[in-house]
Amino acid sequence: MQRLQAKIYGRVQGVGFRAFVLHRAQALNLTGTVRNVYFPSRCVDVVAEGPKTALQTLLDLLHEGPSMSRVDRVDVTWQAPTGSFSHFRIA
């Protein structure tokens, strides 16, 4: 088990990115959150916990995003899981 924190930059707000992440993370049986961040810069923040292979699959999907999005950059941090999530949700 691991914890992934990713900040996704580009055209990622108002294009269904959070719903895209929610459905993919739930399909991978991950727990965590996805939310829009507006300050200091606009991005989508994802925190997910689960098996490393599932997290890597999610990370690959974050680089693609839904069809209306444009991902310019993904900043990733790997951490020890905290077990603080019971499911995956939009925050």
Active site residues: 18, 36
C-alpha separations of 87 from 27, 47, 75, 80 in Å: 11, 12, 23, 17
For the record, the structure tokens of 75 come out as 């900043």
Nearest to 90 by CA among 39, 23, 18: 18
Cβ neighbours for 18, distance < 8 A, ≥ 6 positions apart: 34, 35, 36, 44, 90
